[in-house]
Amino acid sequence: MDTVIKVENLTKRFGDFTAVDNISFEVKRGEIFGFLGANGAGKTTAMRMLCGLSIPTEGKGTVAGYDIFRQPELVKKSIGYMSQKFSLYEDLKVWENLELFGGIYGMSDKDIKIKTDELMVRLNFEEERDHLVKSLPLGFKQKLAFSVSIFHHPQVVFLDEPTGGVDPITRRRFWEMIYDATASGITVFVTTHYMDEAEYCDRVSIMVDGRIEALDSPANLKKTYNAKNMDEVFQQLARKSTRKAD
Amino acid sequence: MNISDNNPPIAIHCESVSKKYGKIHALKNINFDVKRGEIFGIIGPDGAGKTTLFRILTTLILADSGIATVDGFNVVADYKEIRNRVGYMPGRFSLYQDLTVEENLEFFATVFNTTIDENYELIKDIYIQIEPFKKRRAGKLSGGMKQKLALSCALIHKPSVLFLDEPTTGVDPVSRKEFWGMLQKLREQGITILVSTPYMDEASLCDRIALIQNGQFLRIDTPENIVGQFADILWAAKSDNMHKLLEDLRNDEQVKSSFAFGNSIHVTVENGQLTVDSLKKYLIERGHNNIEIQPIEPTIEDCFMELSNTQI
């Protein structure tokens, strides 16, 4: 298996505050990589660097084969991104959102059309195709936002708390979509505050005060910390935090 | 004097409350009572109607129909009285970003005709944690600190009923635990608390809860009773291929539902149909190894899923 994300000694400082402190890790192709940490641990800053949105202060890093220092634009083209605040245009129709994002990522009109048709069938969305996004129920929007983020078949998709606030069944259906994406070769990098979802990841890293305090499979982490579930692992590690910022 | 001494035993009363926004039925015939001194949780996903209910009870919007009272006062006729006696922490951070921590607190104290000193005892445990930053602008605080300031501001006039709309959404598990610790202490001081959350695991920290979805209460009871009324048989299943396990379980007609729950899959079976042994045999035939199936106690999340499956 080859490597999709590789960072070495990555650091980001804002003035005299070190938001991300010398982190190193690799993510393999097709992996579901859980990126956990308390509020203020540095997750968002680290994720912004990996997405080519923020230039690191020190260290090295490649995402999808591109250097995050020198080729941030190429990084952006090769990844997908979805946050809890769905990045869909509410006043556009379902198909218009797909066309817009497909176009931005440089897909051909023909390709957009074929993939839109295919997606509408797969999601059972054919009736909603011409509906404005703002009229859709929350669960639909979430499915669509995720589909938009991987519409251009990125090498890796970054999901920033994608399941916040949704009902328990929709939340689980969403993870089933994540599995389907990895089956098609997409690597998934995901943050969450639901510790049961940490169990669904192949490997999990836990950040505390800007550093990666632990990184392993959920099974190994539970063994190492003598914990019965990932919540206990998280509570043990995050309590070490001395940082009180966000 | 305990805050609860002069107030009626029913802190919140809601009778047939409904609210529509255009065609959307945000609340359908909501009925419940919150007893004095309770922590009552409204538990459900985004869009279920939680915020609408909070706004009606805090007199910010009007219900289309139904009756609601807080401390015995009617939310329509006596709205001014209610506004004086309740504390409200909305879901979205709503303090003055350009005022400092101390200025925000002082502002809220003044509006309610009191001073920080007068009620300092009540907020002390919470405020003490942000006091070192009292000269900092509220907009520059971290998420956790904003939450503590908002709670302090909602408490500074010594409310009899506290309304907390999703105070822990987006907050990490460690800070959430800490926040619930603060609520337990407030209850000990006699404050009645109505709190909403999308996190099902917080249900067990409430005295009673209402599970809400699509504007309707699915059930109102203590967390223990809700768990006790779970109608199906529930097993936790594992094998060395969890993804395929989910697929195979869904293909078994005798399995009612199967969903991932952390490191196992929760399987519900209708009474007296399938046995653990026959399910094991079925899974062995489909190539699974290291199969574990165990009867388990349901969680509130299992109950929510079962109720929302059958009722809506």
pLDDT tens-digit readout, B255-279: 999 999 988 999 999 877 789 999 9
Residue B2 lies in a domain: no
Q: Give how far A107 is from chain B: nearest CA, Å.
A: 32
A·B CB contacts under 8 A: 90
Q: Which positions ≥6 away from A156 have C-beta within 8 Å?
A: A4, A5, A27, A63, A64, A78, A79, A80, A186, A187, A188, A189
Q: Are residues B280 and B215 in the same domain?
A: no
B92/A68: higher pLDDT? A68
User: What percentage of chain B exceeds 70 in pLDDT?
Assistant: 97
Rounded mean pLDDT, B192-199: 96
Chain A residues within 8 A (CB-CB) of chain B?
37-40, 84, 137-138, 161, 164-170, 172, 175-176, 179, 193, 195-196, 199-200, 218-219, 229-231, 234-235, 238-239, 241, 244-246
The domain containing residue B101 runs over which residues? 10-227
Which residues of B are less than 8 Å from A235 in CB distance?
A: 173-174, 177
On chain A, the residues whose CB falls within 8 A of the CB of B173 are: 193, 195, 231, 234-235, 238
The mean pLDDT of chain B is 92
Asked if residue B1 has pLDDT above 80, the reply is: no
Kindly state the DSSP code that residue B140 receives in the 8-state scheme.
Answer: G
Residue with tokens 């916040």, as numbered in its chain: A164
* CATH number of the structural domain spanning residue B275: 3.30.70.2070
Question: Looking at residue A7, what DSSP letter applies?
Answer: E
Q: What is the CA radius of gyration of chain A?
A: 18
- pLDDT single digits (tens) B135-187: 999 998 877 788 899 999 999 999 999 999 999 887 888 888 889 999 999 99
Say whether pLDDT at A1 is over 70: no
Cα→Cα distances A123→A118, A128, B229, B257, B293, Å: 9, 10, 34, 21, 32
Residue B2 pLDDT > 70, yes or no?
no
Q: What is the mean pLDDT of residues B40-64?
A: 96
pLDDT in tens, B278-299: 999 999 999 999 999 999 999 9
Q: Are B146 and B275 in a shared domain?
A: no
Assess whether B221 and B238 both reside in one domain: no
Domain edge (last residue) among B177, B207, B227: B227
Measured in degrees and rounded to the nearest 5, phi and psi for residue B306 equal -65, -45
pLDDT for position B183:
94
Task: Give the pLDDT confidence score for residue B263 in this predicted structure.
Answer: 87
Query: Going from the N-terminus, what domains does chain A have, and what CATH number goes with each?
Result: 3-238 (3.40.50.300)
What digits encode the pLDDT tens for the residues A186-214?
999 999 989 999 999 999 999 999 999 99
B8 HSE (CA, 13 A, CB side): 11
pLDDT at B202 over 60: yes
- Other Cβ atoms closer than 10 A to A160: 20
Q: Are residues B194 and B276 in the same domain?
A: no
pLDDT at residue B310 in the model: 56
Identity of residue B114: T
Q: Enter the DSSP assignment of A227.
A: -
DSSP code at position A85: S
What does residue A81 show for φ and ψ, rounded to 5 degrees?
-145, 135
In a domain, B194, yes or no: yes
Q: In terms of domains, do B15 and B41 share one?
A: yes
- Report if residue B4 sits inside a domain: no
DSSP letter string over B176-243? HHHHHHHHHHHHHTT-EEEEEES-GGGGGGSSEEEEEETTEEEEEE-HHHHHHT--SEEEEEE-S-HH
Contact A167 B175 (CB under 8 A): no
For residue B153, give the CATH number of its domain: 3.40.50.300
B119 with B159: CB under 8 angstroms?
A: no
Banded pLDDT at B250 (limits 50, 70, 90) = very high
pLDDT at position B4 is 53
Q: Do B309 and A169 touch (CB under 8 A)?
A: yes
The percent helix, strand, coil of chain B (3-state, each to 5) is: 35, 30, 35
Q: Is the pLDDT of residue A245 over 80?
A: no
Report how far residue B93's alpha carbon sits from residue B3's, in angstroms, rounded to the nearest whole number: 27
Q: Do residues B237 and B209 share a domain?
A: no
The answer as to whether B5 is a domain residue is no
Q: Of B227, B262, B280, which closes a domain?
A: B227
Chain B residues with beta carbon closer than 8 angstroms to that of A231: 173
**Does position B3 have pLDDT exceeding 70, yes or no?**
no
Nearest-angstrom CA–CA distance, B91 and B173? 18
- pLDDT at residue B95 is higher than 70: yes
pLDDT (tens digit, 9 = 90+) per residue, A32-88? 999 999 888 999 899 999 999 999 999 999 999 999 999 999 999 999 999 877 679
Q: How many domains does chain B have?
A: 2
Contacts within 8 Å (CB) and 24+ apart, B3-6: B3/B158, B3/B160, B3/B189, B3/B190, B3/B191, B4/B36, B4/B37, B4/B160, B4/B190, B4/B191, B4/B192, B5/B190
The one-letter code for the residue type at B92 is: R
Q: Which of A169, A199, A238 lies closest to B172 in CB terms?
A: A238
Q: Are residues B187 and B286 in the same domain?
A: no
In a domain, B151, yes or no: yes
Please list every residue in chain A whose beta carbon sits closer than 8 Å to the beta carbon of residue B301: 168
Q: Confirm whether B70 is domain-assigned.
A: yes
Burial profile B65-75: b = 16 or more Cβ within 10 angstroms, e = fewer: ebebbbbebeb
Q: Are residues B56 and B150 located together in one domain of the fold?
A: yes
* Strand B39-43 to B65-70 pairing: unpaired
- The pLDDT of residue A246 is 43
Q: What is the pLDDT of residue B175?
A: 85
Strand partners, A197: none
* Any domain includes B259: yes
Same-domain check for residues B139 and B273: no
**Is the model's pLDDT at B211 over the cut of 50?**
yes
Alpha-carbon distance A127 to nearest alpha carbon in chain B (angstroms): 19
pLDDT of residue B301: 95
B100-138 pLDDT per residue, tens = 999 999 999 999 999 999 999 999 989 998 999 999 999
Give domain status of residue B119, yes or no. Answer: yes
Q: Report whether pLDDT(A239) > 90.
A: no
For residues B84 and B111, give the distance between their C-alpha atoms in angstroms, rounded to a whole number.
Answer: 10
Q: Are residues B127 and B276 in the same domain?
A: no
Q: Among the residues of chain B, which ranges form H helices?
A: 50-57, 79-85, 101-111, 120-127, 143-155, 173-188, 223-228, 242-251, 276-285, 300-311
Same domain assignment for residues B182 and B54: yes
Query: Which among B184, B193, B118 is positioned nearest to B156, based on CA atoms?
Result: B118
The confidence score (pLDDT) of residue A38 equals 87
pLDDT at A101 over 50: yes
Contact check, Cβ <8 Å, B198/A200: no
**Closest CB from B45, B46, B175 relative to A38:** B175
Q: How far is CA B54 from the centre of its chain?
A: 12
Smallest CA–CA distance from B171 into chain A, residue = A39
pLDDT for residue B230 is more than 70: yes
The gap between the terminal CA atoms of chain B, to the nearest Å, is 46
Structure tokens at B147: 């939450």
In terms of residues, how long is chain A? Answer: 246
- The answer on B159 and B279 residing in a single domain is no
- Condensed to tens digits (0 to 9), the pLDDT of residues A116-164 reads 999 999 998 999 999 999 998 888 888 999 999 999 999 999 999 898 8
Domain edge (last residue) among B205, B227, B249: B227
